[in-house]
């Protein structure tokens, strides 16, 4: 690192760092530094993971021991009913569980936390293109969180599922929680949308315009490609949800009728006026939310690609196919939304078209899966916590993806739609794939963020327990689904043909509780290692990408020397470079 570099500069972002009088507030709270914002996102979302998890545990309790006293909190919440939860509380539980996990955990942890922290570092920029916007994108999370939290307080809480289908979500008289709580919920979604929109514009601009000299598009690490494509998806799909949400709010508050047909009498209220179409909401919602499931996956895919390559000391197999398959997922992702609506009464011919596009979206996923396996092939693997979580990501994604194929087949979906098979599918992709990807990423980049390594034995125990308990919780859901157990049921066992599933559900619940407890290990590990972990140094994993070529944690402005990029990110074990099995992107030799 001794050659003289041409100054890394960007067109209209001169190096003027006016943060001279950084007090506590501007440094850690209202900071515009992407690293601080990223870490703020990380803490908030990990906290939310526990909130969402706690809600999940309440769900599981009800499914295992229906109408018995909810441990710890039941006595206080439902004093009048001997601590047993009410059906509408159950509805609120899974609605908020889905909402918290999707909108406050997975999306913001991937884009908000890792996107923020890694994008400037990995492309060699000193910060985001619009630091102030970046800060706002974090702070817009809080009105959303406030809305969601408040909505739980109002009677019944939002009670229409995270998908919020009208009319249940459109008519205040339709459910106890469909009153003000549902409006608050919709407002919360709108705030999340604004936050993500600001973030995604920032990411796209930064990645397009602020790369260090030499960082051509095809030298960008997969993480950056993934974040870029995710940002595109967010920027162009999310406004549709925002529009739909606003229309639904109007239906509720201003008596418009976009989603409300006429003459509907709910709960003995006077008939509705209008001639709207409830299915329109489903189209708009899924037009966003299908791309959203890839928003919840692609960044993890990108990070796993980097991690696997580094941990196997081997170049990523098929860099360009990996990039193009990701682009294909994003592109196809916009034309498959109808697979959530196969039996909604939509035109059956559209069902066929959506089936074909849906199975085709498995193709780029297949390409990625095979390339990951091929990346490990012939490598020299280091089995540490990071690698373990990354491998779990791949295998669990295969399970979740393959169950997606069942549902993509329309006739089969007639039966398994809205059963636990669906719940199994999305927990395998969301927990199994994405969350394991997040665990891998947390432990991989923790040294960069904190300057200290995470505790290895603790990490491996956490992995082992989580892997076993996650499979123990979610795998049986496939069987429940095939057995015909519908989702969103507070008490399935009142139906005689489902009675025999109770023991299975109890087993799953105990696995879920164990999984919850295992997560405390992660929390403990984070706190412990932050203060007492071994010091990491610049590049503990001997990785090539730019973020490892600067101190840990990086200083304000990110790099202590100007950055120039000379090669791609995956030059491991290069025969022309025998001194080390890695060859940093910045090494001019």
**Contacts of Cu ion in 284-303 (CB under 5 A):** 290
**Considering the complex, what minimum distance in angstroms separates the CB of residue 246 from ligand HEA?**
21
Q: Which is nearer to Cu ion, 221 or 333 (CB)?
A: 333
Q: Which residue's beta carbon is nearest to the bound Cu ion?
A: 290
Q: How far apart are CA 72 and CA 69, in angstroms?
A: 9
208 binds, among Cu ion, other proteins, ligand HEA, none (CB under 5 to 8 A by kind): other proteins
**Considering the complex, what minimum distance in angstroms separates the CB of residue 398 from ligand HEA?**
5
Q: From the list 46, 57, 110, 312, which residue makes contact with other proteins (rule: CB under 8 A)? A: 312
214 binds, among ligand HEA, Cu ion, other proteins, none (CB under 5 to 8 A by kind): other proteins
266 binds, among other proteins, Cu ion, ligand HEA, none (CB under 5 to 8 A by kind): other proteins
Q: Which is nearer to ligand HEA, 36 or 144 (CB)?
A: 144
Q: Which is nearer to Cu ion, 413 or 547 (CB)?
A: 413
CB atoms within 10 A of CB 78: 16
**Considering the complex, what minimum distance in angstroms separates the CB of residue 91 from ligand HEA?**
9
Name the strand (E) or helix (H) holding 59: helix 34-64
Residue 193 near residue 203 (C-beta atoms within 8 A): no
Q: By CB under 8 A, is residue 356 in contact with other proteins? A: yes
Tokens 């099995």 — which residue? 581
Token pair recorded at residue 303: 């990070």
Q: By CB under 8 A, is residue 17 in contact with other proteins? A: no
**Considering the complex, what minimum distance in angstroms separates the CB of residue 253 from other proteins?**
10
Torsion-angle region of residue 293: left (phi > 0), alpha (psi -120 to 50) or beta?
alpha
Residue 158 near residue 95 (C-beta atoms within 8 A): yes
483: phi then psi, degrees, rounded to nearest 5:
-75, 0
530 binds, among other proteins, ligand HEA, Cu ion, none (CB under 5 to 8 A by kind): none
Q: By CB under 8 A, is residue 86 in contact with other proteins? A: yes
The whole-angstrom distance between residue 357's C-alpha and the CA centroid of its chain comes to 23
Q: By CB under 8 A, is residue 261 in contact with other proteins? A: yes
**Considering the complex, what minimum distance in angstroms separates the CB of residue 234 from ligand HEA?**
14
Q: Which is nearer to ligand HEA, 219 or 462 (CB)?
A: 462
Q: By CB under 8 A, is residue 132 in contact with other proteins? A: no
49 binds, among Cu ion, ligand HEA, other proteins, none (CB under 5 to 8 A by kind): ligand HEA
Q: From the list 102, 159, 440, 515, which residue makes contact with other proteins (rule: CB under 8 A)? A: 159
Q: By CB under 8 A, is residue 577 in contact with other proteins? A: yes
Task: Sketch the per residue contact string, 463 through 482, with Cu ion: x for CB under 5 A, - otherwise.
Answer: --------------------
Q: How far apart are CA 369 and CA 317, in angstroms?
A: 11
Q: Is 433 exposed, middle or buried (0-12, 13-18, 19+ CB in 10 A)?
A: buried
Q: Which residues contact 585 (CB under 8 A, 6 or more apart)?
A: 215, 219, 544, 545, 546, 549, 565, 566, 567, 568, 569
Residue ranges binding ligand HEA (CB under 6 A) = 49-51, 53-54, 56, 59-60, 94-95, 97-98, 101-102, 105-106, 161-163, 293, 296-297, 339-340, 358, 361-362, 365-366, 369, 398, 401-402, 404-405, 407-408, 413, 417, 422-423, 425-427, 429-431, 434-435, 473, 487-489, 512, 515-517, 519-520
**Considering the complex, what minimum distance in angstroms separates the CB of residue 146 from ligand HEA?**
17
255 binds, among Cu ion, other proteins, ligand HEA, none (CB under 5 to 8 A by kind): other proteins
**Considering the complex, what minimum distance in angstroms separates the CB of residue 404 from ligand HEA?**
3
Closest by Cα among 140, 143, 119 to 129: 119
Name all contacts of 354-361 with Cβ < 8 Å and 24+ positions apart.
355/408, 355/409, 355/410, 357/332, 358/404, 358/408, 359/405, 359/408, 359/409, 360/332, 361/328, 361/329, 361/332, 361/333, 361/336
Q: How far apart are CA 371 and CA 326, in angstroms?
A: 12
Is there a cis peptide before residue 167, judged by omega within 30 degrees of 0? yes
Token pair recorded at residue 140: 């817009």
Helix (H, G, I), strand (E, B) or coil at 454: coil
570 binds, among ligand HEA, Cu ion, other proteins, none (CB under 5 to 8 A by kind): other proteins
Q: Applying CB under 8 A, what is the total number of residues that bind other proteins? A: 182
159 binds, among Cu ion, other proteins, ligand HEA, none (CB under 5 to 8 A by kind): other proteins
Q: Which residues contact 236 (CB under 8 A, 6 or more apart)?
A: 334
CB atoms within 10 A of CB 1: 10
507 binds, among Cu ion, ligand HEA, other proteins, none (CB under 5 to 8 A by kind): none
Closest by Cα among 309, 93, 266, 305 to 179: 266
Could you list the residues that contact Cu ion (CB under 5 A)?
290
């Amino acid at each position: 690192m001794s050659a003289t570099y041409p100054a890394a500069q960007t067109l209209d972002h001169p190096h003027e760092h006016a943060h001279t009088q950084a007090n506590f507030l501007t440094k850690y709270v209202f900071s515009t530094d992407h690293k601080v914002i990223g870490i703020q996102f990380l803490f908030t979302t990990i906290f939310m993971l526990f909130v969402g998890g706690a809600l999940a545990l309440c769900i599981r309790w009800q499914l295992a021991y229906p109408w018995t006293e909810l441990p710890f909190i039941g006595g206080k919440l439902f004093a009048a009913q001997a601590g047993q939860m009410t059906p509408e509380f159950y509805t609120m539980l899974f609605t908020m569980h889905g909402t918290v996990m999707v909108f406050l955990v997975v999306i913001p942890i991937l884009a908000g936390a890792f996107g923020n922290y890694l994008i400037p570092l990995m492309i060699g920029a000193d910060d985001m293109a619009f630091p102030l916007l970046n800060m706002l994108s974090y702070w817009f999370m809080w009105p959303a969180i406030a809305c969601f939290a408040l909505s739980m307080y109002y009677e019944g809480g939002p009670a229409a599922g995270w998908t919020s289908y009208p009319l249940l979500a459109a008519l205040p008289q339709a459910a106890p929680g469909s009153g003000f709580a549902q409006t608050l919920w919709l407002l919360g979604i709108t705030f999340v949308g604004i936050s993500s929109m600001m973030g995604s514009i920032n990411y796209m601009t930064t990645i397009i315009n602020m790369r260090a000299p030499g960082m051509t598009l095809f030298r960008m690490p997969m993480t950056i490609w993934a974040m870029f494509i995710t940002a595109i998806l967010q920027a162009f799909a999310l406004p549709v949800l925002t529009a739909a949400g606003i229309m639904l709010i109007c239906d509720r508050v201003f008596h418009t009728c976009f989603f409300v047909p006429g003459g509907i009498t709910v709960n003995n209220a006077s008939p509705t006026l209008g001639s709207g179409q409830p299915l329109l909401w489903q189209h708009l919602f899924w037009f966003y939310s299908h791309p959203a499931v890839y928003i919840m996956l692609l960044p993890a895919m990108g990070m796993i690609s980097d991690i696997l390559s580094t941990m196997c000391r081997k170049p990523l197999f098929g860099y360009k196919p990996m990039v193009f398959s990701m682009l294909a997922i994003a592109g196809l992702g916009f034309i498959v939304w109808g697979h959530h609506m196969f039996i909604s009464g939509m035109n059956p011919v559209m069902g066929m078209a959506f089936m074909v596009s849906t199975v085709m979206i498995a193709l780029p996923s297949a390409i990625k899966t095979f390339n990951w396996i091929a990346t490990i092939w012939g490598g020299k693997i280091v089995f540490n916590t990071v690698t373990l979580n990354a491998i779990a990501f791949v295998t669990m994604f295969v399970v979740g993806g393959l169950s997606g194929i069942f549902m993509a087949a329309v006739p089969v979906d007639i039966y398994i739609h809205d059963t636990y098979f669906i719940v199994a599918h999305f927990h395998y992709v969301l927990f199994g794939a994405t969350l394991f990807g997040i665990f891998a990423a947390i432990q991989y980049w923790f040294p960069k963020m904190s300057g200290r390594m995470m505790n290895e034995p603790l990490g491996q125990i956490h992995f082992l327990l989580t892997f076993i308990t996650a499979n123990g919780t979610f795998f049986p859901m496939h069987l429940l689904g095939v057995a015909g157990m519908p989702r969103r049921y507070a008490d399935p066992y009142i139906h005689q043909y489902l009675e025999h599933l109770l023991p299975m559900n109890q087993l799953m619940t105990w696995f879920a509780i164990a999984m919850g407890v295992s997560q405390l290990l992660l929390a403990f590990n984070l706190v412990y290692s932050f203060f007492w972990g071994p010091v990491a140094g610049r590049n503990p994993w001997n990785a090539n990408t730019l973020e490892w070529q600067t101190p840990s944690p990086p200083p304000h402005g990110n790099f202590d020397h100007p950055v120039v990029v000379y090669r791609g990110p995956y030059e491991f074990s290069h025969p022309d470079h025998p001194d080390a099995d890695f060859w940093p992107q910045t090494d001019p030799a």
